[in-house]
Each structure stands twice: as structure tokens, then as C-alpha cells.
Amino acid sequence: MNEPIRPPNFIVDSLLFQGLHILAGAPKVGKSWLALWLAVTVAKGEPVWGDEREAGHNAVPLP
């Protein structure tokens, strides 16, 4: 309990950090396509909405 809390490791700066996330919303608004696009973009190391990052993060979209 004396160990300090580490800051989160952001995959997409100020938006998405490592871990499990739930993407919720109304039906048929594109949640699955957004999750797939984010996973592929992050895994390829491409910028997400103009945010540069290092390549090679593991991203697995779960249904």
C-alpha cells in the first residue's frame, strides 16, 4: 500500500489509455466500426485524429 500510483500509459493522448474499455451508445451509430478503426490505427502506429504515437501497440477489439 506504500507504492505510489503510476500515471496511466496513454495509447491515444488524453483519450484512451491501456486497459479494458466499454464503448457504449445507441444502436446502429457505428460503435463497432469505431472500435475496429481505433484498434487497426493504433496497432499500425498511425495518428489518431492528428495525434502522433509510437508504432507497435497491441490492440484487440472484442465483440
pLDDT of residue 57: 62
| Confidence (pTM) | 0.67
pLDDT of residue 52: 63
Q: Which residues contact 38 (CB under 8 A, 6 or more apart)?
A: 12, 16, 48, 59, 61
Residues 40 and 57: their CA atoms lie apart, in Å, by 10
pLDDT of residue 24: 94
Q: What is the DSSP string of the chain?
A: --SPPPPP-EEETTTEESS------STTSSHHHHHHHHHHHHHHT--BTTB---S--------
pLDDT of residue 59: 64
Per-residue pLDDT of 8-50, as tens digits, reads 888 777 778 888 888 899 999 999 999 888 888 888 878 888 7
